[in-house]
Structure 1
Amino acid sequence: MKPLISFTLDQDTEEMCSTLTAFAENRLAAPETFDAEDFRRRWLLAGRQGITGTCVPDEFGGSGMDAVSAAALMEALGRGCRDTGFAFSVAAHLYACLMPVVEFGTTEQKKRWLPALASGELIAAHGITEPGAGSDALSLRTRAVRDGDRYVLNGEKCFTTNAPVADVFLIQAVTDPEAGYFGLTSFLIEAGTPGLSVGRPYDKVGLRGSPMADVHLQDVAVPADQVLGAEGGGAAVFTSSMRWERTCLFAAYLGSMRRLLDSTVDHVREREQFGAPIGSFQAVSHRIVDMVMRYESARLLLFRAAVGLDEGSQDEIGPALAKLAVSEAAVQLGLDAVQLRGGLGIVDGEAETFLRDALPSRIFSGTNEIQKNNIARALGLGRAPHRRRAAR
């Protein structure tokens, strides 16, 4: 099914999207159980196709694409790659790790890190979430203390995407506990640095093709030239990365949604009950229409947010709405696809796999409840300060 909503892409990008979808269908199939060696093999293949560095400038080994084109390619990857977890890992690497280096790194840092990360030779992971600091990112307990020309980091990170296979970590730590928003600092740390260790991979309900684990930091010495941005600028780095992630990462879900929607339409056309295709029954056809509406609406909001990124917008509403719309649409579309398949929907197959992969989308990149808080605050609807009653 061709999307009703279209954004103008140049011919080269359109051809790249078609090529990438076909490539992902044929070359990025995952084994039944996660295998780190096979993951790395597929990662290098994706890197050769340019997908691991789409937004990175040409001079640093990337494709130099704008956000709209990059989102279109991520959508194409999601459509062709049935391993949504793998597509998710690629997107997290690119938008939560590489784009912060593109936007905040020094020239020396960009030359050092970006070429190998953009080519797929290296994999990156972003460590922000902690056991006691999820939605409340300013409650981090990981500390970084200046010691001459280096910093010493101690703390724990959890739910870190790509941690079991990462070569480079972008770690957020507190350098000034009293400074609030300006007390966080970002660090680029190589895997294998003494004191940095990774826990056992999580066994997750969905996105099983995306490796995730805890990261432990015990007296990890990091040279001062590996601070990303300025000391105290970590919150700005994180906020920028979330604008990219909440927009372009979720384009992979659009591709997966489109693939599932197409197969569901085929199913209700072919499946017969009571002497007629079930798609001819109003209850079924109306559910399909609702699925199309959710997909098309979410796609519009996501590409609108991508346009904002290209225009340099600092708007929080667009990316938050895109994240909300895509994640909620994905979960509901998965539920609908399962329901329309009947018994086939609850056994191992495309619909139930997609639903499991969709469920985490309402949690990561900031829960959907937090997105609504962010939107409300941007609209000037934040909670008013407590006013003390006047004495009588």
Structure 2
Amino acid sequence: MNFDLAPEQRKRYDETLAGVRAELACPSSPATRAEWRAAGRLGLTGLCLPKEHGGSGLGALDTALCLEAFGRGCATAGLPFAVAAHLLACAVPIRDFASKESGLLAGLATGERIAANAMTEDGAGSDVGRLATTARRDGDAYVLDGEKSFASNAPLADVIVTYAVTDPTAGFLGITAFAVPRDLPGVEVGSPLEKMGLHGCAAARVRFSGCRVPDRYVLGRPGQGSAIFQHSMGWERACLFAVYLGLMDDQLDRVVAHARERRQFGREIGGFQAVSHRIAAMAQRLEGARLLLYRACWQLDQGHAGRVAAAAMSKAAVSEAAVANGLDAVQIFGAAGYLTGPGIEARLRDAVPSTIFSGTTEIQREIIAREVGL
């Protein structure tokens, strides 16, 4: 058992971090297409996509390490989150389930084309079995009708990965996955939603009104949608939260530097046990979360039987650590941490939704309980 990175992994991490700091240290809110193309030049939009389609062909752990560097090098987590959602919730199912004639992978690895994930509905959040969006067969196509309530990347998206009920009598076997080109008639994307954080990632509602989707844009087989969604969530839960490891690395560096520089009552505040122990707890949470995430990614790469539980444990641990560390960072910086200029509060706002998306913490604990035999 080796807990150290291989030299090539360390080199790739360092090069990614340097590239992000040089080109994407302070991306726009929301991020622009030019910034997406910059992420593409750094290889970030195609980390785990096939080399023949412009990607790097990396496995889950190496993908996560690069996303970790991305999160560390960016001042906010919005663009790293957006790129990770594009890659893991959208490009991965396209990679693994799209037909060759669909041409859907073209441009995704380079950031020239952006993908959005549209699963959540007003009545189907944690309970994804309550989808109201339908797709009825019509000749050599499906006609989609319904509305998705929270689709990350939708305002910029060129293709929208979505899920609809094709057989209402079949339960979870009656859901089908689609990759819908944005320019098909009947696709309507709403205005960007106003959010607490992750401002670099634009999100919007998506409406399908009699949208005729040719068969070549069906992912997998009809009725396979639930399995495809869970497959994409396996990648997202294992890899995306590496962005938050990077965020916490940067945050801890800044907190330690502040505790050494800030003086009160004639001494550095890091010399007070109330501060030093809070920082020690931040480091402990970060390193525990990191080990769980690396293990989850390794198990995904190995096809390990425990990979579902490992990803759920990792997702819960990283997201809860990110929120707790964000609160501690604000407390240590005091009034300065509450101001928008230093960016300490931004890290906290970006962390809060991490316990909600990709399955809430409560859903992760349900998965863990099931996987241990309850």
What TM-score results when the alignment is normalised by the length of structure 1? 0.92
How far did residue 105 of structure 1 move? 2.4
| Contact 2:76-2:350 at 8 Å conserved across structures | no
SS of the equivalent of 1:205 reads: coil
How far did residue 49 of structure 1 move? 1.2
Residue 17 of structure 2 corresponds to: 21
| Contact 2:115-2:160 at 8 Å conserved across structures | yes
Residue 384 of structure 1 corresponds to: none
CA deviation vs aligned residue, 1:319-344 (integer Å, no higher than 9, x gap): 11111000000000000000001111
How far did residue 106 of structure 1 move? 2.8
How far did residue 8 of structure 1 move? 4.3
**Number of equivalenced pairs:** 372
Matches within 5 A, 1:1-392: 7-30=3-26, 33-34=29-30, 39-109=32-102, 112-313=103-304, 315-348=307-340, 349-381=342-374
Distance 1:283 1:83 in 2: 28
| Contact 1:260-1:350 at 8 Å conserved across structures | no
CA deviation vs aligned residue, 1:138-183 (integer Å, no higher than 9, x gap): 1000000001111000000011000000000111000011111101
Q: Which amino acid aligns with 1:347?
A: L
Q: Which amino acid aligns with 1:115?
A: A
Cα distance change, pair 32–186 in 1 and its aligned pair in 2 (3 A): closer
| Contact 1:85-1:207 at 8 Å conserved across structures | yes
Cα distance change, pair 87–31 in 1 and its aligned pair in 2 (3 A): closer
Percent same amino acid among aligned pairs? 51
Distance 1:51 1:20 in 2: 8
SS of the equivalent of 1:230 reads: coil
Distance 1:358 1:31 in 2: 17
SS of the equivalent of 1:141 reads: coil
How far did residue 31 of structure 1 move? 5.7
Q: Which amino acid aligns with 1:22?
A: A
How far did residue 59 of structure 1 move? 2.1
- RMSD of Structure 2 on Structure 1 (CA): 1.5
| Contact 1:127-1:170 at 8 Å conserved across structures | yes
Distance 2:74 2:334 in 1: 25
Residue 388 of structure 1 corresponds to: none
Which deviates more from structure 2 when the two are superposed, residues 23-32 or residues 98-107? 23-32
How far did residue 25 of structure 1 move? 1.6
How far did residue 229 of structure 1 move? 0.3
SS of the equivalent of 2:223 reads: coil
Distance 1:317 1:362 in 2: 16
| Contact 1:140-1:174 at 8 Å conserved across structures | yes
Distance 1:83 1:244 in 2: 22
Cα distance change, pair 190–7 in 1 and its aligned pair in 2 (3 A): farther
Cα distance change, pair 19–31 in 1 and its aligned pair in 2 (3 A): closer
